[in-house]
Structure 1
Amino acid sequence: MSQTIASDTFQRPSLRVHAADNVHVALKDLPAGSEIEDNGRTVRLTEAIRHKHKFALQPLAEGDLVIMYGVTVGRVTHPIAEGGAITTGNVEHSTDSDQAQARREHWNAPDVSRFQGITFEGYHRPDGRVGTANVWVVVPLVFCENRNIEVLRQCVADALGEDPYRDYKRMAREMLHGQASDSPAEQPNDERLFPNVDGVRFLTHTLGCGGTDDDALALCRLLAGYICHPNVAGATVLSLGCQKAQIDMLKQAMAERDPEGLRPVHYFEQQASRSEDTLIREALTTIFDGLKEANRVTRQPAPLAELTIGVECGGSDGFSGLSANPTVGAAIDRLVTLGGSGILSEFPELCGVEHELVSRCRDEQVAERFRSLMDAYQAHAAAVGAHFSMNPSPGNIRDGLITDAMKSAGAAKKGGDSPVVDVLDYTEPTVRKGLNLLCTPGNDVESTTALVGSGANLVIFTTGLGTPTGNPVAPVLKVSSNSEMAQRLPDIIDFDAGPIIRGEAQIAELADELLQLCIDTASGRYRPKAVQLAQYDFIPWKRGVSL
């Protein structure tokens, strides 16, 4: 016996995202024979459809286009019956990005009356920018210094009594020795020596030597972006001495970001030092002196226009483009309306929606910059036999994102609907208020690292499968696309967009709640789960093919 289900009921079984779509998304597991009502007609499922996967609303012949979000997300390779599943076996990647589209003259800005006059409590820097955190960073110019960075990290954690892995160390002792108590040196320090500082962040990486001159320059520009970041009070830099990424190269990149030399930076070269003991002692001195100075800065009110939020997605599922990403996009639209900025990255995940983003560019110069960067990236990928269509991971595909265009259409929702004011290449800083596009790979940590390097003082990261990604400098808020995952992984999720899938909430109301959470985070009133877990991921992009 067939099961008849209405698509507009409270616990709706499936959803047509856009009026022009010829597929539905299953919001729960649907057995074969289920009857789905859509716009006054009934579609009978010819096979079981897993939740998050798509099924055809009409018979589709070979060569027909699959439409979702109102755009092309695939081309049919084998006939699909009405009510049949959309799979990698019958659909391939295809887009309509070559279609010309007129530039939009206006956009419908959201109602932001509830946020008018609202401020956040931030750290005001001498260059006029405002941070959402206050950290001192310790960075290596080359991977050879990673060991010394780790020595410094352990020394500082021990001296401050702020070891984030204390509980895990106790767990390991108990497992091996049955020892249940902390040693005196490992007792938590309830009184922070520097209450106005969020900590010292130690960055390590695998670059700095052995690559091209362009690789070294890109690394130095990225590190300069971190050292000059509004969330950073100052930096200690370690160099070996003989590597390609030289201190002078970093100083030049610093001069471009901080021409007046307002940010305190201390440089150390191991090959010019008398001994390792001397190097560590002098580096520790700059860190502790820097913490004392950073502690003099306190949080003060700042307008929401000083927020720059980078948006990222990772471990996406079939619901990400329906709940989490549109909610984030709506929050970014609100921030832009209030004078703030957003940064949308991951160029491989914009493949297939280029025409939509071009139509939103503020002028032809911005549009041409986007087209040229996308074309150059795709050409570089093609030179080694790769293509953006290879972007979806096995996890993405298992959860219904079977083509890159389908993934991209949902991923682009994080950028909302506001005009694109600027397009940035990797490591370039944001200089215009509003929505910016940033050329990065789709790799979660490489892209998040780049967003912060270009000036994001807060990051919103959406996930459908669960990913713990964080950042050493900027707070990262994790937004789940579905409630099941949010409940299963509460230690890494900050905000649940799942009520949209269940029909219990609208995107607009959740966007208001999410923006308020951003304000609380920027003010230090809320500590994201990634910060609580000391999830400080940092991976520079070695400018190659990373999808």
Structure 2
Amino acid sequence: METEISYLQIHPKDNILVALKDLEKGFPVHFHDKIIYLKDDVQCKHKFSTTDLEQGAQLYMYGVLVGEATTFIPAGSALTTANIHHAAAPFNMGKRKLEWQRPDVSKFENLTFNGFSRADGSVGTANYWLVIPMVFCENRNVNVLKEALVEKLGYKKAKGWAPEVDQLIGLYQTGQSVHDILATEFNQQPNTTFTDRVFPNIDGIKFLTHDLGCGGIRLDSDALCGLLAGYITHPNVAGATVLSLGCQHAQTSILMDEIYKRDATFDKPLVVLEQQISGTEQQMLKDALKQTFAGLMKVNEQQRTPAPLHKLCIGMECGGSDGFSGISANPAIGYVSDLLVSMGGAVILAEFPELCGVEQELSDRCIDEGTAKRFMDLMTTYNAKAEQDGSGFYANPSPGNIKDGLITDAIKSAGAAKKGGNSPVVAVLDYPEKVSKPGLNLLCTPGSDVESTTAEVAAGANIVLFTTGLGTPTGNPITPVIKISTNSALAQKMPDIIDIDCGTIISGKETIEQAGERILRYIIAVASGEEIPKAVQLEQDDFIPWKRGVSL
């Protein structure tokens, strides 16, 4: 039943309330046994105090410390960057808290998805061929192969925006003014369909360019090799072509070591060419075309077959977060996490700068003290490096986050952590390590959307759930990214990028559990190739390796 409410206390310990709609100054707030009259207008998604707060007083939300008053704040006042700043509780080695309420999975435990089974036991939700440079020097050759292969093999959109450009050129050539050009209505919408594919069982050829591989520090080039190995061994990848110059830091021998570290019996088709051995660029490209085409012929024989849901590995991501993220979409996918973990699947929670303030809870949920210590050490080292370079986790919220109610990093983090549900943490991974255990895994990445999503996929995520309150088109070249809105206004405003609306939780039309089950059903359809997320339709092939410096 739909129940409209104006404000929300998330946890009994909180002395902050969240406005669920715009509230005017003087609005009566019934809180416990008293009435608080708002001292200010409070915008939807923003917060206000429930008691008088002296300067230095601590503010709690989601049951954890999220800020400190920088001045006296009367009860009912809007909380802003002008009267509070970031604060987070210290953390230490606590007792293990591994008991949790497993959700009822009876609706899903016997279901399957149709995926691509790999020799290492993993199952892909898609089937791609990769073309990858070992160093930025080879980016141009990768693009030459892209130009040669994509259209001819049927992976280029049939029309795209070319007719619209032709229409504008025609207007210009007939003497139309700038005003006429700006007022032009295009004849039709751009086509998003593809031409007939030569290899129908291959979802696409993806060309991953980057600016790393040489220069900088060896740590970056070694991490790049691990990242690329994660993509090559990924269950959504059938084979790959690798172009190397030859003299760069990121050697193909390091890449092969990283591949076998992740898959000791690796047997996918792999074409590795080195320009300084091939001689001429022309010769290398000839070899690349022939060997890649032969590989495509081989992997086109692969077809989808039923697989149990525990073969899913889901990455949890958020970007363009708002004041509703932590109470709608994030806990909804957190429930999905608990469902999948209960069925034996794997989940990745990343974005370490956005776990600031909830370290104690997450470390206590780690299965043993060694795992907890690794998590705390990574968090401490990461933040210290950021502060050394003139920043810190406190600087994580973006201008858009702040404008929409996430005014301290701890407020943002406490809501972001809801993506991980309630299950124990089975492993803590450092970038660019790969998931090897079912259950909830923590992966050290930046909070930056594309860098984090790139890393989660390298770690093995064959589906990514991406929540957003402001709207972001982030996707990935090989893994379907499902975009979930925290509020219905965004879903209506940007329907071209949003797949699922969780604003239904805010309006009272749906519970967190109901939304989570709805999302899991959509995941199964996407994993089977029956539904195509918007990010895939838009070819949102974002790929940014993390240079292991400071990125929040």
Q: TM-score range by the shorter chain?
A: over 0.9
Q: Which amino acid aligns with 1:11?
A: E
CA distance in 1, matches of 2:247, 2:369: 44
Which residues in structure 2 correspond to 1:233-252 (within 5 Å)?
233-252=238-257
The equivalent residue for 2:371 is 366
152-161 or 533-542: bigger deviation: 152-161
Deviates more, 1:140-149 or 1:413-422: 140-149
CA contact (8 A) 1:392 1:407 kept: yes
Residue pairs, 1:173-322, within 5 angstroms: 173-177=166-170, 190-322=195-327
Letter in 1 for 2:304: R
The letter of the residue matching 1:200 is I
- Are the equivalent residues in 2 in contact too, given 1:470–1:531 (CA < 8 A)? yes
Q: Report deviation, 1:264.
A: 1.8
Q: Is contact 1:378–1:387 with CA below 8 Å preserved after alignment?
A: yes
Deviations 1:410-442 (A, max 9, x none): 000000011000000001111111000000011
SS at match of 2:314: strand
Alignment match, 2:76 = 83
Could you say if the C-alpha distance between residues 330 and 68 of structure 1 is closer, same or farther in structure 2, counting changes exceeding 3 Å?
same
2 CA distance for matches of 1:225 and 1:9?
A: 45
Pairs within 5 Å for 1:31-430: 31-98=24-91, 101-164=94-157, 166-177=159-170, 190-430=195-435
| DSSP-derived class of the 1:342 partner | strand
1:445-499 CA-partner distances (Å, limit 9, x unpaired): 0000000001111100110000000001111000100010111101101111001
Task: In structure 1, give the amino acid aligned to 2:18.
Answer: V
In structure 2, what is the equivalent of residue 3 of structure 1?
Answer: none
* Matched residue type, 1:63: G
Change (3 A) 1:400 1:98: same
Which position in structure 1 is the counterpart of 2:12?
19
1:164 Cα deviation after fit: 3.4
1:456-495, aligned counterparts within 5 Å?
A: 456-495=461-500
Conservation of the 8 A alpha-carbon contact between 1:164 and 1:533: no
Q: Secondary structure of the equivalent of 1:490?
A: coil
Establish whether residue 450 from structure 1 lines up as the match of residue 443 from structure 2.
no
C-alpha RMSD of the superposition: 1.9
> How far apart are 1:374 and its partner, in Å?
1.1
Q: Deviation per CA, 1:180-208: give whole Å up to 9, x if none.
A: 999xxx99765322221111111011101
Could you tell me how far apart the structure 1 residues matched to 2:412 and 2:482 are? Answer: 21
Kept in 1: contact 2:93–2:372 (CA 8 A)? no
The match for 1:4 is: none
Q: Are the structure 2 counterparts of residues 24 and 64 from structure 1 closer, same or farther at C-alpha, using a change threshold of 3 Å? A: same
Aligned equivalents of 1:505 and 1:492: distance in 2? 22
Q: Structure 2 vs 1, CA of residues 188 and 471 (structure 1 numbering), >3 Å: closer, same or farther?
A: closer
Q: Distance in 2 between matches of 1:388 and 1:460?
A: 23
In structure 2, give the amino acid aligned to 1:106: E
Corresponding residue number in structure 2 for 1:10: 3
- SS of the residue corresponding to residue 327 of structure 2 reads coil
3-state secondary structure, aligned to 1:160: coil
Range with bigger deviation, 278-287 or 381-390: 278-287
Secondary structure, aligned partner of 1:170? helix
- Which deviates the most, 257-266 or 483-492? 257-266
Q: How far is 1:148 from its partner?
A: 1.4
Distance 1:238 1:75, change over 3 A: same
Counterpart Cα distance in 2 of 1:481 and 1:97:
30
Deviation at 1:503, TM superposition (A): 1.4
Range moving further from structure 2, 139-148 or 377-386: 377-386
Distance 1:233 1:482 in 2: 37
Q: Residue 537 of structure 1 aligns with which residue?
A: 542
Q: Secondary structure at the match of 2:259?
A: helix
Verify the 8 A CA contact 2:241 2:292 in the aligned structure 1. yes
Cα distance, 1:165 vs. partner?
Answer: 7.8
Distance 2:141 2:492 in 1: 39
Partner Cα distance (1:161, 1:431) in 2: 36
Deviation, structure 1 residue 20? 1.2
Mapped to 2, the partners of 1:158 and 1:167 lie a distance apart of: 12
The residue identity in structure 2 corresponding to 1:501 is: I
Quick one: structure 1 residues 203 and 507, their matched pair in 2 at CA, closer, same or farther if it must change by over 3 Å?
same
Aligned with residue 30 of structure 1, among 7, 23, 45: 23
Counterparts of 1:257 and 1:544, CA distance in 2 = 24
1:315·1:465 contact (CA, 8 Å) conserved in 2?
yes
Amino acid at match of 2:68: R
Q: Which amino acid aligns with 1:41?
A: K
TM-score for both structures, normalised by structure 2: 0.94
How far is 1:385 from its partner? 2.1
Quick check: 1:62–1:76 contact (8 Å CA) kept in 2?
Answer: yes
Which secondary structure state, in structure 2, belongs to the residue aligned with residue 309 of structure 1? strand
Residue 239 of structure 1 deviates from its aligned partner by: 1.0
Alpha-carbon contact 1:136-1:199 (below 8 Å) kept: yes
Structure 1: distance between partners of 2:296 and 2:24: 60
Displacement of 1:321 after TM fit?
A: 0.7
Contact 1:491 1:529 (8 Å CA) reproduced: yes
Name 2:520's counterpart in structure 1: 515
Report deviation, 1:286. Answer: 2.4
Distance 1:390 1:366, change over 3 A: same
* Alpha-carbon distance in structure 2 between the residues aligned to 1:302 and 1:111: 21
Structure 1 residues 233 and 367: CA distance shift in structure 2, 3 A? same
Match of 2:506 among 501, 505, 514: 501
The residue type equivalent to 1:58 in the other structure is: T
Structure-2 change in CA distance of 1:503 and 1:188 (3 Å) = closer
